[in-house]
Structure 1
Amino acid sequence: MLTLAGTRPEAIKLAPLAIAAAARPGIAHRLVATGQHAALFHQTLAAFGVAADADFGLLVPGQSIEALAASVSAAVTAEIARDRPDLLIVQGDTTSAWAAALAADAAGVPVGHVEAGLRSGDPLLPWPEERNRIEIDRVATLLFAPTPVALANLRDEPDVHGVAAITGNTGIDALLMMRDRLGPPDPRPDARRLVLVTAHRRENIGAGIAGICAAIVRLTARGDIAVALPVHPNPAVQAQVVAALGDVSHVSLLAALDYPAMVRMMTQAHLILSDSGGVQEEAPALGVPLLVLRENSERPEAVAAGNASIVGTDPDRILAAATRLLDDPAAHAAMARPAFPFGRGDAADTIVDLIEGWHAGRSI
């Protein structure tokens, strides 16, 4: 079994799968990095005691999506030719996952898709992620859907022909594993409530991040909160965030956090504002209210569970929703009850069980 990954979120969500596979003597598993997030990827794996078996080293600053896809496709094709795997595993909706899945399919290697079936309902938002996940699911032999909603999406699409099953999300495996390792959160050194913000989505660069930053400036004028914003390494994001918030009181612009530090900060937060997909899964499990800084979401389960609200990037909408949660204890409490719409921490073992069952049937 060959797993391909290259971004920090992929490292988080595939580390539990690597651990589960290593515990099964009947599975020979090889984890190969694309090199996209370079140090962050390997650092994240190391936090779980996992290491990649190889690294393609495909990181090129300023590389276009098309160039990345071509590089990944060529590297995966060569890897398959060297060591013909029974199954290629990809996770999520990155361009590298999409290119790898298509390359494997062209080479006749079955594809397993971790986090299959997520849909925003808008083919252009986010782009190219919505395209990527739809096309990966069309070629996948094994589709590991994190939730009943994701499974229903797959069953509603006539071009999806693989075997699909609900597994939960391996991101929750990783979160609960790390939370338990870290122990209870440390008390905060000051009385200001912590608002954690993350913003990096491609579709938000420009006007979206400008709106998010404007809302933060207005929020901090309250005087009773502290904002922590780990700045994404994307230079376009960095330039915009630093210019807008670099001199704002009670806003801490942080270097990208490693995964343990990020989990620690989420457990300390009174409120999270984020455009991240992974945070939409993690915040409910931690019982931290979340405002989603996007116009739609492929993870409606977080909203349905009552832990998240979609507010977009308009500063007035963000400010109104955040003010309500900061000023109304009942509203905050209603969103702060831990919920587990994305699983309870056993997704990786469930996925490995399904792979072993599939392989046994295929070998008969």
Structure 2
Amino acid sequence: MLRPFDVRLVVGTRPEAIKLAPVAHALAERGLAPALVLTGQHPSLDPAQFGLGDFPAERLHCPGEQDPHRHVGAVTTALLPIVAAASGLLVVQGDTSSALGAALAGFAAGVPVAHVEAGLRTHDPQLPWPEEEYRTAIDAQADLLFAPTELAAAKLRAEQATGEVHVTGNTSIDAVLALEAALPLAEPRRGALPRLLVTAHRRESWGEGLASIAAALRELSSEAAIDFVLHPNAHVAASMRELLGGVANLRLLEPCSHRELIRRMREADLVLSDSGGIQEEAPALGVPLLVLREKTERPEGLDCGSAILVGTSAERIAGKARRLLRDPAALAAMRRRRFPYGDGKSGPRIAGIIEEWLNRRA
């Protein structure tokens, strides 16, 4: 019989909360009583907003820092005495400094580590930085590797990862399908202009990249109504306010809930984003997407025809967006729902593997 809290889920950021909530609930349904470790990377994160309010939690109070490596060290130092006294399994998600810091604490204490969303690669340590380094470091030593796709699993095997590799799908699809099912029907479109929804926040785009994205949006604003959702990062938000404030047909929106973002995505004609989560969600929602990155670790969306990689060049962004908006057939082809990242059952699949693994160890 497993003891309470034999599974600890590490949550530092909003995306981690979104993607680990399906795992937490699936574990609870199996009687595994998971607990949360809240690192504090996003200090305003409220687990109740993501359906995690009923789970016991330990708080580390390690807010995110400008230097992500320092935050990794702070999380490792704070978590090490907790995991050293624990048993069971430590579950981390993605490629944040919280995920790496927690994984390093687990490795140092000899506590098994599971990595949800393992195997994503661009094979370029600078794109994205530092995420490519962080997820590679986690995968090198994790005991359980939950790859979202067959391609991600193949990359782990090519690296000769020592942990067990399981293809599970991405839990982001569980979350987005559940949210969409609870949304009301889309309201009728008002206004003649096509509507664009835009987000941009990647660290590697700070400075020149964000300025180039803003230049493309200023150019497109004469042909489309643009909603730009500001990121909670104060540096990014201030930059985009300075670059885009007062542009006609362009609204700067305050950071919104995941539910609100999904609603806006569903009602947009075209989405432009550098977000990893939106790359996963757009195909499942049937939303055409232009990816504002030079490289992506999620090529499955490109391969299935739901997304196009345009980078941060103002000329490429404006040119591709304009061509799509003027070609209804091309937009319609991208608007078909596709599920390259999972079927919406990844949480239960991961929970089942964890239960079987823990019972084997017991």
TM bracket (short chain)? over 0.9
Counterpart-to-counterpart distance in 2, 1:164 and 1:279: 25
Q: Structure 1's 195 and 76: CA in aligned 2 closer, same or farther, altered over 3 A? A: same
Counterpart-to-counterpart distance in 2, 1:57 and 1:138: 27
Query: 5 Å matches for 1:97-246?
Result: 97-158=99-160, 160-222=161-223, 225-246=224-245
2:36 to 31, 37, 52: 31
Q: Please tell me whether residue 66 in structure 1 is matched to residue 69 in structure 2.
A: yes
Q: Which residue of 2 aligns with 1:14?
A: 20
Q: Please tell me whether residue 85 in structure 1 is matched to residue 90 in structure 2.
A: no
Q: CA deviation at 1:110?
A: 0.5
Q: Structure 1's 218 and 63: CA in aligned 2 closer, same or farther, altered over 3 A? A: closer
Q: What percentage of residue pairs aligned between the two structures are identical? A: 49
Counterpart-to-counterpart distance in 2, 1:108 and 1:79: 12
1:93 match: secondary structure: coil
The residue type equivalent to 1:309 in the other structure is I
Q: Please tell me whether residue 45 in structure 1 is matched to residue 50 in structure 2.
A: yes
Residues 222 and 249, structure 2, Cα contact 8 Å, conserved in 1: no
Q: Which residue of 2 aligns with 1:354?
A: 353
Q: Which runs of 4+ in 1 moved over 4 A?
A: 48-52
Residues 45 and 51, structure 1, Cα contact 8 Å, conserved in 2: no
Residues 113 and 144, structure 2, Cα contact 8 Å, conserved in 1: yes
Counterpart-to-counterpart distance in 2, 1:50 and 1:345: 22
Q: Which residue of 1 aligns with 2:312?
A: 313
Q: Which residue of 2 aligns with 1:263?
A: 262
Counterpart-to-counterpart distance in 1, 2:177 and 2:46: 19
Residues 5 and 96, structure 1, Cα contact 8 Å, conserved in 2: yes
Residues 196 and 268, structure 2, Cα contact 8 Å, conserved in 1: yes
The residue type equivalent to 2:133 in the other structure is R
TM-score normalised by structure 2 residue count: 0.95
Deviations 1:253-274 (A, max 9, x none): 1111111111111111110000
Q: Which residue of 2 aligns with 1:284?
A: 283
Counterpart-to-counterpart distance in 1, 2:134 and 2:185: 38
RMSD of aligned C-alpha atoms?
1.5
Residues 17 and 352, structure 1, Cα contact 8 Å, conserved in 2: yes
Q: Structure 1's 308 and 41: CA in aligned 2 closer, same or farther, altered over 3 A? A: farther
How many residues align? The count is: 356
Residues 15 and 50, structure 1, Cα contact 8 Å, conserved in 2: no
Deviations 1:111-143 (A, max 9, x none): 000000000121221111001111100111000
TM-score normalised by structure 1 residue count: 0.94
Specify every segment of 5 or more residues in structure 1 that has no aligned partner in the other structure, as ranges.
Answer: none
The residue type equivalent to 1:162 in the other structure is G
1:183 match: secondary structure: coil
Counterpart-to-counterpart distance in 2, 1:52 and 1:118: 30
1:309 match: secondary structure: strand
Q: CA deviation at 1:293?
A: 0.3
Q: CA deviation at 1:63?
A: 4.3
Q: Structure 1's 274 and 51: CA in aligned 2 closer, same or farther, altered over 3 A? A: farther
The residue type equivalent to 1:165 in the other structure is H
1:38 match: secondary structure: coil
Deviations 1:55-108 (A, max 9, x none): 222116x542232111100121122134x1310000001111011111101100
The residue type equivalent to 1:201 in the other structure is R
Q: Structure 1's 137 and 28: CA in aligned 2 closer, same or farther, altered over 3 A? A: same
Q: Which residue of 2 aligns with 1:254?
A: 253
1:39 match: secondary structure: coil
Q: Structure 1's 351 and 292: CA in aligned 2 closer, same or farther, altered over 3 A? A: same
